[in-house]
Amino acid sequence: MFIGFGTLANVVTVLVGSSLGLWIGTRFPERTQRTVTDALGLITLLLGALSAADVLSPALREAVGPSAPVLIVLGGLLIGGVIGSLLDLENRLDAFGHWVRARLVPDRTDPGADSTPGTGTPGPSGPGSVAPGSSAPGSVAPGSSAPGSAAATRFVNGFVSASLLFCVGPLTVLGSLMEGLGHGPDQLLVKAVLDGFSSIAFAATLGVGVMASAGVVLVVQGLLTLAGWAIGDVLPQAHLMALSAVGGLILVGLGLRILNARKVPVANLLPALLIAPLLVEIVTVLR
C-alpha cells in the first residue's frame, strides 16, 4: 500500500457514511434524530475520557515525574486556550464553515422557507452553532446564503462538529504519523471504520455539512502523514501521551456541546495540542 492510503480510505468512508446518513435522516422522526445525537454525544465523551486517561501513561510519568503529567495537561489547556481565544479560532472556524456552505450548498430560498426534513431542521447545538433566525457575524440579506438561516446553521453545526470529532482524536495524529514513518495504515484504517459509522449518525441529524468535513480530514491527515514522512520520528512516546490526553479532554468538551450541556469553545483549545508536548520537552530538559 502507498503512503496516504489510510487517509484516502478515511475520506471515502466519511463520504459514503455521510451519503447513507443523509438518505436515512429524512426517514427519521425528530425525536429519533435527537436520540441518535445524544448517543453520539455520550460516545464522544467516552472516547474523550479514554484518551484523557493517557495522562496516567508510565512513559509520561517517567519522562516528567509522577506529579507533573496533570500539571502539563492543565498548563497545555490553559496556555493553548489563551492563545486560541486571542486568535479567535472559534469564530474563525465558524466563519469558515459559513464560507464553505455558501459555495457548496447555496440557498435558493429565503431562510423561512428552509423547513423540509433533512435540510431546514436545526441540528443540535454544536461547535459554531448559531440560534436559528438570529444575527450572525457576516450574515447577509434573506434570499442569499444567510449564515443565520436554519439551513446555514445546520450545515455549520455538521461541518464543524464532524471536522473536530474526526481530526482531534489521537488516532488522527498517531495514525497519520505512523503511516508517514512507513509503519503502515493500520491505525488509520481502524479510524476510517469508526468515522464511517459516526458519519452515518452525524449526517442523519446534522446534514450535508458532515460530508464537507471529508475535505478537512484529507488536509489534516495528509499534512501529518507528509510530516511523518519528511522528518522521521517527530515525537517521543511521552510527548504523544500528553498530546493524546489533551486531545481527549477537548473531545470531552465537544461531547458536552453535542449534548447541549455546555457550549465549550473547543476550537479555542486546539493550540493545546501543540503546547502540551512542548511543555513535556521543557520539563524533560529541566530535569
Strands (E) located in the chain: none
Tell me which H or E stretch contains 50: helix 30-52
Q: How far apart are CA 49 and CA 31, in angstroms?
A: 27
Mean pLDDT of 219-244: 83
The predicted-structure confidence for 87-142, as pLDDT tens digits, reads as follows 998 888 878 777 877 776 655 544 443 433 333 333 333 433 433 333 333 333 33
What DSSP letter does each residue of 235-265 carry, written as one string?
S-HHHHHHHHHHHHHHHHHHHHHHTTS----
Residue in this structure with the C-alpha cell 486517561, named with its chain if needed: 53
pLDDT at 107: 57
DSSP state for residue 116 in the 8-state scheme: S
pLDDT at 56: 92
Better pLDDT: 184 or 225: 225
Lowest-pLDDT range of 57-66, 130-139, 262-271:
130-139
Supply the mean pLDDT for the chain.
Answer: 79
Residue type for position 61:
R
224: nearest Cα among 45, 6, 55: 6
pLDDT at 172 over 50: yes
- The stretches of 105-208 forming alpha helices (DSSP H) are 150-168, 170-180, 186-206
47: nearest Cα among 200, 261, 248: 248
The predicted-structure confidence for 200-226, as pLDDT tens digits, reads as follows 888 888 888 899 899 999 999 999 999
Which cell numbers in the block locate residue 108? 435558493
Measured between alpha carbons, how far is residue 83 from residues 128, 161, 270, 273, 275 in Å?
Answer: 18, 21, 9, 12, 10
Beta-bridge partners for 71? none
pLDDT at 7 over 70: yes
pLDDT at 76: 95
Better pLDDT: 16 or 137: 16
Tell me which H or E stretch contains 8: helix 5-25
Residues 238 and 62 sit within 8 Å (Cβ to Cβ): yes
pLDDT at 232 over 60: no
Exposure of 18 in the CB half-sphere (CA atoms within 13 A) = 23
Share of the chain above pLDDT 90, in %: 27
Most confident stretch, 36-45, 189-198, 275-284: 275-284
pLDDT at 13 over 50: yes
How many residues would you count in the chain?
287
Q: For 137, phi and psi rounded to 5 degrees? A: -55, 130
The predicted-structure confidence for 75-89, as pLDDT tens digits, reads as follows 999 999 999 999 998
Residue type for position 165:
L
Residues 147 and 139 sit within 8 Å (Cβ to Cβ): yes
